[in-house]
Copies of this chain bind each other. A is one copy, B any other.
Amino acid sequence: MSTRGYGGPVTEPRWLDEKQARAWRGYRRMRALLDLQITRDLAADSGLSDADYDVLSNLSEASPHRLRLTELATTMLWSKSRLSHHLTRMQQRGLVDREECAGDARGSIIVLTGAGLRAIEEAAPHHVASVRRHMIDLLTDEEIAALAALSHRVVAHLTAAP
């Protein structure tokens, strides 16, 4: 029976059991190591950062290779401020460009440049190979299905209105 002085819950917290703790710690460690490795591969193969790749990838999937800044920020789960800063740097490297938005004078349209398109097209095969090598090809079909199912459930939960 525990009593606590700081006004928190009076009941004993539900700690994680052994299996849950293994899953959580494993997830965290995989997340950290996978991030490091994929960032390294991407930089070595293409000279791009994770952030660069995500921006270019999203732009290249848009129909005319251009998106409103806010839309891009929402898709990427980035703040507008962070995206604006990052785009300024990518613009200086010639990977993207800004255009005025017809119909909304406040707006900024982000455009994939030719160099940007070339960069993502050259980077993509290496990146996919890296993702396969360090993760996807290590999993069974059942694990891939389980990962897809559980991650989509967690995403749905976190996306639901608070």
Contacts and interface: CB of A to CB of B under 8 A. Distances in A.
A37 B154 CA distance: 11
Contacts of A152: 22, 26
A107 interface: no
B155 A19 contact: no
A136 B77 contact: no
A135 interface: yes
* Chain A contact residues: helix, strand, loop or mixed: helix
Interface stretch (A80-88, A109-117, A120-128): A120-128
Interface of A: 6, 8-9, 13-16, 19-20, 22-24, 26-27, 29-34, 36-37, 77, 122, 124-126, 128-129, 131-132, 134-136, 138-139, 141-155, 157-159
A7 to B, nearest CB: 10
14 contacts: A13-B128, A19-B144, A22-B152, A23-B144, A23-B145, A26-B148, A27-B151, A29-B77, A29-B155, A138-B154, A142-B146, A143-B146, A147-B147, A147-B150
Contacts of A144: 19-20, 23
Contacts of A9: 125
A23 B134 contact: no
B14 A77 contact: no
B23 A132 contact: no
Nearest to A129: B13
Most buried by B among A15, A148, A152: A148
